[in-house]
Structures are given as structure tokens and as C-alpha cells.
């Protein structure tokens, strides 16, 4: 989605990477806002000590996986000492086999940071110099070119991480700090950096991780939380403009069903609708509307379920951010052991779950948009909110656009993690497809932002048409923000730029922020 919504970083912000792992805020700060990286000296001491264990095993005449043997299905092939440097370089070159469009800069920076975090746990056996090389590349703003396809989400995000390791070796292509495509060797030279010649075990340590899918999960959660608050804003605008009731959002009603997210969403709706002259205009006993449609009345239940899903995903991400993902790993007592912690199932499942939630929130938003346009259901507004009915089509086709996006989101909600394609001569016979789940979630969140933008644009026009009745202060602030990029009711005009502009306000967090400024925050 590549949202810009976040708390502003302090000038010169530094994220320290050490054995304690990272927070989600650390990942967003480095990936999206170029916070600089520092390496914890105590963690570097542990990296140095672990490397000594690898160096000792390298002299053992008995083969050790990743140190003196081949990889995957070739794990039983012993490699002579003089060929092991070539083994590591060959591993990276062969695994840098991605295809397709370039992956977004923020995703590449996130996966590099997360790989560095694992290196700094002291469980991988890399040299201190190699850890520094990753920090240096990030601090120089150099971004390896990573391709869309290449990870099965097991044995790590192999191809994406290999493209990053290739850049550290001074090979392949990168984007420099200005975004210019250049050979990695030229970018390193311009930044005053030296290529790294990988030693035993380092090739594996640089590619055996869930860092790509985890990085995309963290970024997606950051964006989704903002979008769910925005969905509360758009729902409040629709409830108000469609002459719905706010009585169904009462705290005691939601306390009867103690779902955390539902109560939070309902609290937001109460705050957003507080002081609405429109809602007050039909709140008396003369109101003939007994129950609003589900898309209005049940907004907290759906938005809340999505919040609870995001909370579950955040707990999975938090644990993963504290993990050391590599194979083999160096244990605390000095053993070098193979393991399966690189399997992306925990992350893949929640990525898929979030895509389901995003699709459902968007589906409900589109249904609210449709109600604004239907003269049989919009309680006195003109058909399609048109200026001159019959001559103008109003926002008719904006709803088509929202419906088309929602249909796409339903397809994207099909889980990727239920698929598996065996690889590496059946050694890797079950894979997570977590990378694919993460890629489609990013598209899902972009679609959700657009659908919410169309609802906000539509509800804003409906609120204008309710004049002289005035909306609540919070929804009025959202309406005013829309009017900075899109004109109010009037004859038909070129609509696409307005849809894009309002979707941009949603994506940036601006719609959420102006409403939250009035309510003194949103849950």
C-alpha cells in the first residue's frame, strides 16, 4: 500500500539493533522513513563469539551443514576448504533468481533490517563485518533490486533475500539513494563501502529467514489500523447522511457482547457523531425508522472483528520480531543444529486472515455507498446524488468502481497459505507461500483504501445535500478535508481525479487525522 501515515520521526532518529529484537515501530521507521541504524556493541560481542564456533567447525574433517557441505538436496556433499568461499558466493548467485516487477523500496528495506536483526541475535554465525555491511547499505539508502516472484515462503524468502545478499557482495543491480538504477558495485563505491566476500555459513545465514513476509506483515498492520479507524469515520458520515440512528452504538449494548474491537469501533462512532444536528433532527418519537440496514447498524461488529483479527496478527508478528530465524542455528550452548523455524506458516496464516478482514470491511463500505445513490433507500436524496436527474449521472459509476474493487478483494481473500508446491528434489516438500500471501495483502489494503475513499466522497456529497442541517464537528472536519481536493454537488464533471485525490487522503491518514483531532483521538 505504501502509506505515509505514521507519527513523524524525530530528526536523526536511530534504531538500535541488538539481541532484544525489534518493535513494529522500528521496522516502519527504517523501512518507510529512513531512520538510521546503530548496532548494539554487546550484541556484536555475541556475534563475534558465535563466529568463533563456526571457524572451529570449519576445520573439522567431518562435514557440517552450511559450513562444509552443499545445501538442500546436496546437504551430504562435502566441500573442500579451498572451495567454500566459492560455495557461498555460488549459493547467493544461484538463489538470486527472482522474476517480475521490482518490489517496493519499503519492503526491501524492511526485509534487510529484519535479516540484520537475526544476524545480531548471535545465533547465525556470521562475521561482525557482514552485520555491519547490512547496516551500512541501509544507512546509505542503497536498495537492492528484488523481484516480485521467487519465494515459496519456506527455507526462508530465499530469492528476495539472495538479491539483497548479492548487493552486499557488490553484484547485481540496486537503486541508489536518489532512486537511480545502478550496478551494485558502482553504488557501493560511491558510498565508500567495500563488497563483502562471504565466508563459511554466511550465505545460508543471509537467506534463511521469513523477513520479507514479516516485513510486509508489519507494514500492513500499520496501514490496516489506520484504515480501520478511517472506516469508522466513513461509516459515521454515512450513518449521519442517510438519517440513520446513533442509538445502536450505545456502550451498554456493546457491553452485552464483550468483543474488544467491536466496543472500540462503537466508541469511535459515538464520538464521531457527537453533536450532529442531522442525527438530532430525527431522533424523536416521530421517527419512523425502526432499524437501520446492517451496513449501518452492524458497522462496529464488522470493523471490530477486523480489529481483533489485526490484534491476533500483531501478536504473531511481535513474537516473530523477537526470533532468530536461520538454518542451521548456533545454540546458546554452542551446538550447530538444523531446524525448521524458517517455515512461514505462522505468518502466512495471519496474512491471509487479514486479507479476509480487509475484503469484508470494504464490502460493507461499498454497500453503504450504494445506499446513498438509491432513491428508494437514501431517505430523500436525489437519485445517484445527481444535480439534474436525467441529465446528470452523479456518482453512479463511482459505485461501479467500488464494486469492481470489492470483487477483486474477494478473489484476493482466497488463502495463499493452503497451497504448497514441493521443491528442491522433494527435500522441501511443504512450503508456506507466505510471501504470496503478503504480496496480495498489500494489494488488498490498497483496494480497501480506494473503496473507503469512494464512500467518503459519496457521503460528503450527501452531507452537503442535507443542508441547512449541519453534520457533527468530527464528520464536518472530514467533509472539509474532502472539499480541499474535490468540489461539492453540481453538474457532472470528470470524476476520476476526485476519486484518486480522496483515496489519497484516506491512504495518507488525513481523513482519520482530521476527525481524530476533533474527537481527541480514536480507538
Query: What is the distance between the alpha carbons of residues 212 and 58, in angstroms, rounded to a whole number?
Result: 30
Give per-residue burial for 427-465: e unless 16+ CB within 10 Å, then b. ebeebbbbbbbbbbbbebbbbbbbbbbbbbbbbbbbbbb
d(CA 134, CA 113): 8
Cβ neighbours for 380, distance < 8 A, ≥ 6 positions apart: 243
Residues 228/365, Cβ–Cβ less than 8 Å: no
**Lookup result for grid cell 562435502:** 78
Instruction: Spell out the alpha helix ranges (H) of 337-395.
Output: 345-373
- Residue pair 143/175 in contact (Cβ under 8 Å)? The answer is yes
Active-site residue identified among 65, 134, 294, 494: 65
CA gap 267, 287 in Å, rounded: 24
Q: How far apart are CA 455 and CA 237, in angstroms?
A: 9
Q: What's 247's DSSP letter?
A: G
Residue with cell 432513491: 375
Closest Cα partner for 522 from 223, 252, 226, 220?
226
Closest by CA position to 229, among listed 466, 519, 461? 519
Beta strand extents in 213-339 (DSSP E only):
329-330, 336-337
Residue 85 vs residues 97, 158, 202, 290: alpha-carbon distances, Å: 20, 19, 10, 76
Count of CB atoms situated within 10 Å of the CB of 39: 19
Q: Which of 202, 166, 194, 208 is nearest to 55 (CA)?
A: 202
Question: Catalytic: 400?
Answer: no
Residue 358 sits at φ, ψ, to 5 deg, of: -60, -40
Picking from 278, 475, 496, 503, the residue whose alpha carbon sits closest to that of residue 395 is 496
Rounded Cα distance between 281 and 470, Å, is 10
CA–CA gap between residue 409 and residue 443 (Å, rounded): 8
Distance in angstroms (rounded) separating the CA atoms of residues 477 and 101 = 39
- Neighbour-count burial of 406, counting CB atoms closer than 10 A to its CB (0-12 exposed, 13-18 middle, 19+ buried): buried
Question: What is the CA 52 to chain-centroid distance, rounded?
Answer: 38
Torsional sign, CA 455, 456, 458, 459: positive
Catalytic residues: 65
Amino acid at each position: 500500500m505504501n502509506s505515509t501515515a505514521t507519527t513523524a520521526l524525530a530528526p536523526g532518529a536511530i534504531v538500535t539493533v541488538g539481541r532484544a529484537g525489534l518493535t513494529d515501530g522500528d521496522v516502519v521507521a527504517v523501512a518507510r522513513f529512513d531512520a538510521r541504524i546503530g548496532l548494539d556493541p554487546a550484541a556484536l560481542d555475541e556475534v563475534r563469539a558465535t563466529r568463533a564456533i563456526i571457524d572451529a567447525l570449519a576445520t573439522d574433517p567431518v562435514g557440517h551443514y552450511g559450513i562444509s557441505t552443499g545445501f538442500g538436496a546436496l546437504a551430504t556433499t562435502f566441500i573442500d576448504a579451498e572451495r567454500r568461499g566459492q560455495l557461498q558466493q555460488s549459493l547467493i548467485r544461484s538463489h538470486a533468481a527472482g522474476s517480475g516487477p521490482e518490489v517496493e523500496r519499503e519492503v526491501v528495506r524492511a526485509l534487510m533490517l529484519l535479516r540484520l536483526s537475526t544476524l545480531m541475535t548471535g545465533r547465525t554465525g556470521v562475521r561482525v563485518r557482514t552485520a555491519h555491511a547490512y547496516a551500512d547499505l541501509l544507512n546509505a539508502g542503497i536498495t537492492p533490486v528484488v523481484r516480485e516472484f521467487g519465494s515459496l515462503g519456506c527455507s526462508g524468502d530465499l530469492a528476495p533475500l539472495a538479491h539483497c545478499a548479492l548487493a552486499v557482495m557488490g553484484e547485481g543491480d540496486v537503486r541508489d539513494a536518489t532512486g537511480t538504477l545502478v550496478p551494485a558495485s558502482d553504488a557501493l563505491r560511491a558510498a565508500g563501502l567495500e563488497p563483502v566476500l562471504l565466508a563459511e555459513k554466511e550465505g545460508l545465514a543471509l537467506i534463511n529467514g521469513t523477513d520479507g513476509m514479516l516485513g510486509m506483515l508489519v507494514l500492513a498492520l500499520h496501514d490496516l489500523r489506520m484504515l480501520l479507524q478511517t472506516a469508522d469515520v466513513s461509516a459515521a458520515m454515512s450513518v449521519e447522511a442517510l438519517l440513520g440512528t446513533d442509538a445502536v452504538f450505545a456502550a451498554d449494548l456493546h457491553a452485552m457482547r464483550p468483543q474488544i474491537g467491536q466496543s472500540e469501533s462503537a466508541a469511535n462512532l459515538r464520538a464521531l457523531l457527537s453533536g450532529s444536528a442531522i442525527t438530532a433532527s430525527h431522533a424523536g418519537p416521530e421517527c419512523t425508522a425502526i432499524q437501520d440496514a446492517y451496513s449501518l447498524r452492524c458497522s462496529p461488529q464488522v470493523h471490530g472483528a477486523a480489529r481483533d483479527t489485526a490484534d491476533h496478527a500483531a501478536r504473531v508478528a511481535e513474537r516473530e520480531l523477537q526470533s532468530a530465524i536461520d538454518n542451521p542455528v548456533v545454540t546458546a550452548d554452542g551446538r550447530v543444529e538444523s531446524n525448521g523455524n524458517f517455515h512461514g506458516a505462522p505468518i502466512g496464516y495471519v496474512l491471509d486472515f487479514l486479507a479476509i478482514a480487509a475484503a469484508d470491511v470494504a464490502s460493507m463500505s461499498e454497500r453503504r455507498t450504494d445506499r446513498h445513490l438509491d432513491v428508494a433507500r437514501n431517505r430523500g436524496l436525489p437519485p445517484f446524488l445527481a444535480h439534474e436527474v436525467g441529465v446528470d449521472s452523479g456518482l453512479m459509476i463511482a459505485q461501479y468502481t467500488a464494486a469492481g474493487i470489492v470483487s477483486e478483494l474477494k478473489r484476493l481473500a482466497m488463502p495463499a497459505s493452503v497451497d504448497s508446491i514441493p521443491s528442491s528434489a522433494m527435500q522441501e516438500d511443504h512450503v508456506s507461500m507466505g510471501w504470496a500471501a503478503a504480496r496480495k495483502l498489500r494489494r488488498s489494503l490498497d483496494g480497501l483504501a480506494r473503496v473507503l475513499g469512494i464512500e467518503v466522497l459519496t457521503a460528503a456529497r450527501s452531507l452537503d445535500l442535507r443542508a441547512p442541517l449541519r453534520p457533527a464537528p468530527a464528520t464536518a472536519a472530514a467533509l472539509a478535508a474532502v472539499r480541499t481536493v474535490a468540489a461539492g454537488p453540481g453538474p457532472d464533471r470528470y470524476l476520476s481525479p476526485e476519486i484518486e485525490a480522496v483515496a489519497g487522503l484516506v491512504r495518507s491518514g488525513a481523513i482519520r487525522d482530521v476527525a481524530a483531532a476533533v474527537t481527541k483521538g480514536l480507538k
